Chain A
Amino acid sequence: MSSRLLIGRPSDAELGEQLLGTTWRPGGRGWRIAFLITGGLTVLLISLITYTIGTGIGVWGTMIPVAWAFAIINFVWWIGIGHAGTFISAILYLFEQGWRTSINRLAEAMTLFAVLQAAIFPVLHLGRPWFAYWLFPYPSQMEVWPQVKSALPWDAAAVSTYFTVSLLFWYLGLIPDLASLRDHAPTRRRRFIYGLFAFGWNGKATTWRHYRAGYLLLAGLATPLVLSVHSVVSSDFAIALVPGWHSTIFPPYFVAGAIFSGFAMVLTLLIPVRAVFKLHNVITEKHLENCAKLTLVTGLIVAYGYILEWFLAWYSGETAEWYEVWVARPTGPGLVLFYLAMSCNVLVPQLFWWKRARTKVWLLWPLSLLINLGMWSERFMIIVQSLEREYLPSMWGDYLPTWVDLGILLGTLGFFTFLFLLFLRLVPIISLSEMRDMKHEIVHRERGHG
């Protein structure tokens, strides 16, 4: 199988040229336009955030009963997308899945930027964002402390930990390549700057020894995070008694959904990158297929989650719960997004039973987009539709977003892409040292056979 992960047997030098080259080969007009658009959207995001903080979150569609809407949906959605990165780089690393090598850095970068988008919202959605730091225990003369029985401090802890660990893990993996860039980048300026970030890496065997140990353990530590972060996020809902939220299946259900959407996003990004940088030899159909397979698996878990939700709603005998899941969602105000979620998250992945759908990019890419859309709709379904129809019919209310809500969502998409483009231009998209490592293993194995 490993042979299909690398097409041709480039020498280390060729490999280096191909993978490092992405950082200094001049980008054409296309790049400038891409940066212009995404940069514009980033500016939009910043101005809308300013507007919101200046005027009050009344400029959003939130209201009573639907006090959480787009902000929290976006938060959960972005965090979820992050998961695939950590999953690939950590879990697949522990399981020694060779195919992770050529996509893990890209996936990790995606994680970082996604979590960055997510991190905007818990603060921004507050009525008084300037007091967000009250969630952390700092010695204040008010002598009041966070109330850690609430799920929100858990969130704060989980998300900040998650971001930190992902960043460290990503950077640790980057160091040897930064060193290569220091030694091989064309201009002196680049060499100097990369040199700063390379920490003076010189490939000494003892350094490698500690490095491997550290990297392995960091992977080991990141692994439980993949499972814990979204479990914690899900507890924002699970510990509440809102019908449609108050459910014990949420943690696994959310984690599966997260990895599901994450892999979809990996495909969404991987396919264009592969085409633009002509990386077909290192990012082969095999990689895409594996991602698609994992999407299918997690997609099935998500579907199972839905089924269980319906079953439990009926089995619990709780009227409000039953009404929520069986009536409000399929027939209530937001029914469009309900059916969107169902079709994109349950039906679309089933296409991946079919090999062509897993390997042909012209099919795979649009499908990955649909899944992203579907997962956003699912979060809308869970968060907004549940709040719209709670216990007291007298206080049922229908939610409508404002242009600010939509603008902010669009803005985060732009900001995310902007950061990702920067990443593509500044550091090797694929871990050179690990690729070399893998290549040598392959060569050895082949020698062993031959």
Chain B
Amino acid sequence: MADRLLAEFEDEAAIIAAIRRLGDEGYGRLEVYMPFSSQEVEEALALATGARRSRLPLAIFLFGIGGASAAYFLQWLLVGYLYPLDAGGRPPHFPLAFVIITFEMGVLAASLCAFFGTLILGRLVRLTDDVQGTPGFESVTGDRFWLEVPVRGASDEPERTRRLLIDAGALRALRLEVPR
């Protein structure tokens, strides 16, 4: 695994320009860090790296359906089949009365999936990561945008990329040592 460069940018416009530039230069696998979710940046990035849409919605849907049907089955099993006690003359299997819990459990399952799905897919179940240690990186939750560029090949490659970034408008570009 090769090293990476981290470049800090003033604002959206700057980083978008840089992304386009590096894209033209044939850099793939770019990664962006930003203080808020900026549509423009993401579009630019998608153009440059061809990133796909999130798969989370599908999972949530499946969990919702699963939760609901499990809830209905449980209700039928308990009061409709295993213990059909007579309560007010209502028939043991009483779909009308089962609807609400079914619905609520569906929503519950889906919501849990949405939350934890976001954490998992977003790699958010951790304390910190390798980029966080970078000096000045905390500005990413302030008002700055950061671009991560992997560098490979020739020994002068990193230096070339760094210059490329600088005159693409980066305030600064640091080389990120990956512990070996």
Contacts and interface: CB of A to CB of B under 8 A. Distances in A.
A308 interface: no
Interface in B8-44: 12, 31-38, 41-42
B12 A210 contact: no
Interface string A23-61: 000000000000000000000000000000000000000
B122 A210 contact: yes
A187 B146 CA distance: 25
A414 to B, nearest CB: 30
A161 B106 CA distance: 10
A208 interface: yes
A334 to B, nearest CB: 30
A224 to B, nearest CB: 7
A164 B128 contact: no
Interface in B50-65: 51, 53-54, 56-57, 60, 64
A402 interface: no
A440 interface: yes
A433 B143 contact: no
A268 to B, nearest CB: 28
Q: Pick from B45, B74, B101, B126 the residue with the most CB of A within 10 Å.
A: B101
* Max chain A Cβ within 10 angstroms of own Cβ: one of B12, B41, B110, B124: B124
Contacts of A211: 37, 118, 122
B100 A232 contact: yes
Contacts of B129: 200, 202
B143 to A, nearest CB: 3
A209 B141 contact: no
Interface string A135-154: 00100000111111110011
Contacts of B31: 204-206
B54 A210 contact: yes
A132 interface: no
Contacts of A169: 111
Nearest to B12: A440
Contacts of B138: 182-184
A188 to B, nearest CB: 13
A215 B117 CA distance: 11
B168 interface: no
A160 B112 CA distance: 13
Contacts of B121: 210
Contact of B33 (A154, A164, A202): A202
Q: Which 8 A-B pairs have the closest CB atoms?
A: A12-B143, A183-B138, A214-B118, A207-B122, A213-B54, A145-B78, A180-B141, A205-B32
Interface of A: 11-13, 16, 137, 143-150, 153-154, 157-158, 160-161, 164-165, 168-169, 171-172, 175-176, 179-180, 182-184, 195-196, 199-215, 217-218, 221-222, 224-225, 228, 232, 235, 433-434, 436-437, 440
21 contacts: A16-B143, A148-B79, A148-B98, A148-B101, A161-B107, A161-B108, A176-B141, A183-B142, A196-B127, A201-B141, A203-B34, A206-B51, A208-B37, A208-B42, A210-B54, A214-B115, A217-B110, A221-B60, A224-B103, A232-B104, A235-B100
